[in-house]
Amino acid sequence: MPSIAIFLHQLAATGVARNAVAIARYLDAQGWRVAIITVRPGGELAGEIGSVRHLALGSAGMPRAVELAVTVGRLRRAVQDLAPDILLSAGNHAHLAVMRAMRGQDKPRRVYRISNELSRPPGHGSFLRSTGLRKLGLRFVAKDADRVVLVSPVLSDPAFDRCRRDGRLRVIENGVDVAEVRRRAQEPVAYPWLDGDTPVVLAVGRLSPQKNLPRLIQAFAIAHRRRRLRLTIVGGGPTKARAALERLAGEEGVAADLHFIDRVSNPFPIMKKAAVLVLPSLWEGLPNVLLEALACGTPVVASRTAGNAAQILEDGRYGVLVDPRDPAQIAEGILAQVDPARRIMGTERAAVFDRARMLERYKALFEELLPA
């Protein structure tokens, strides 16, 4: 029986965790011995892993980077006890911990999944903060990896050139289970704004600089002056970040029409009922939320710098693309997509990124690494 361990910080309702759970459940159904290892227990997706084994190393209630650093020894022991054939580092945040934990070890075979953009706008750092450290870290990833997986072609980096030359680099784009998203989008949701006459603008993502939410609030305020709208932001984050966004909404005069919802395991009923989903991110890998919104039949506005959003939307054929630094342009996109006479729909586009293809490709990649 082939075996795999998948490591990530927690089973939160994020793109990294949703894809990790999908891979785990697929391999489990294919007869693999599968374990998910996390630092933190619980999480919004903990109830969605089915029969997959889940090991939580134990959280110290500290920032994610610190928790990952202090659990390296426990991760090493957990992997030794499980003795899997393959260890998948599911997202960028996990790579340093995996490299440190597996230092000096030939087994298990390691797969590093590059889940998010590695280059950042000035001042935003990366999964290694300075440019010099980042390049050094990427070289270590490339050296340690039996395979490197990019979730989008836009994530390519010169540090992986050697992996490309010797056949260790793969591009496996994220996918979405279109039928499952549409099924779950029919579930009831107790959120009165969605049943009113005022269009709801929706953003889904953690409250971090990457998601560019201050620009979204400024854009919403511009659009709000031209027609009545409401803005809902689904996603957890630091209390300070939320307070800063609330202050900005107050300054812009739209505080009464802004509402936050913490991360939820099933955001799809909210997506389906929203008038438009906006993805204003400064950077992404391949944005799952964009695929999910398309599957729900929700019109979208997306940043041109949000990973391969332009590819997903075919340069505007299936949704509106905007400059994330220009609130006026984002506002115009919102107003176009809430207008039935102007909106651009992309419902059928989601099928191109159906998850079944992604899962088959991961299975084939892992099988390459199994002992003869």
Q: Are residues 89 and 59 in the same domain?
A: yes
Peptide bond into 108 cis (omega under 30): yes
Asked if residues 37 and 6 have their Cβ atoms less than 8 Å apart, the reply is yes
User: What are the pLDDT digits (tens) for 183-234?
Assistant: 999 999 888 787 788 999 999 999 999 999 999 999 999 999 999 999 999 9
Asked if residues 202 and 277 have their Cβ atoms less than 8 Å apart, the reply is yes
Question: What span, in angstroms and rounded, lies between the C-alpha atoms of 118 and 92?
Answer: 9
Q: Are residues 347 and 358 in the same domain?
A: no
User: What are the pLDDT digits (tens) for 38-58?
Assistant: 999 999 999 999 999 999 999
Q: Which amino acid is at 258?
A: L
Structure tokens at 274: 């929203």
Which secondary-structure segment (H or E) carries 78? helix 72-82
Question: What span, in angstroms and rounded, lies between the C-alpha atoms of 141 and 176?
Answer: 27
CATH number, domain of 13, equals 3.40.50.2000
Q: Which amino acid is at 69?
A: A
Range of the domain at 26: 3-175+354-369
Q: Are residues 16 and 137 in the same domain?
A: yes
**What is the average pLDDT value for the chain, to the nearest integer?**
92
Q: Are residues 190 and 278 in the same domain?
A: yes
Q: Are residues 141 and 197 in the same domain?
A: no
Q: Are residues 335 and 365 in the same domain?
A: no
Q: Are residues 183 and 286 in the same domain?
A: yes
Residue recorded with tokens 């400064």: 282
* Structural domains in the chain (count): 2
The CA distances from residue 355 to 8, 13, 132, 180, 360, in Å, are 20, 17, 36, 10, 9
The answer to whether residue 129 scores a pLDDT higher than 50 is no
The CA distances from residue 86 to 119, 176, 333, 346, in Å, are 28, 24, 44, 37
Q: Are residues 306 and 360 in the same domain?
A: no
Q: Are residues 171 and 195 in the same domain?
A: no
Question: What span, in angstroms and rounded, lies between the C-alpha atoms of 202 and 272?
Answer: 10
Give me the mean pLDDT over the 283-293 stretch: 92
Q: Are residues 248 and 299 in the same domain?
A: yes
State the pLDDT confidence band at 154, using cuts at 50, 70 and 90. Answer: confident
Q: Are residues 194 and 78 in the same domain?
A: no
Q: Comparing C-alpha atoms, which of 371, 368, 364 is closest to residue 27?
A: 364
Q: Are residues 32 and 94 in the same domain?
A: yes
pTM: predicted TM-score of the whole model, two decimal places: 0.88
Q: Exposure string (b/e) for 133-148, b if CB count within 10 Å is 16 or more?
A: ebbebbebbbebbbbb
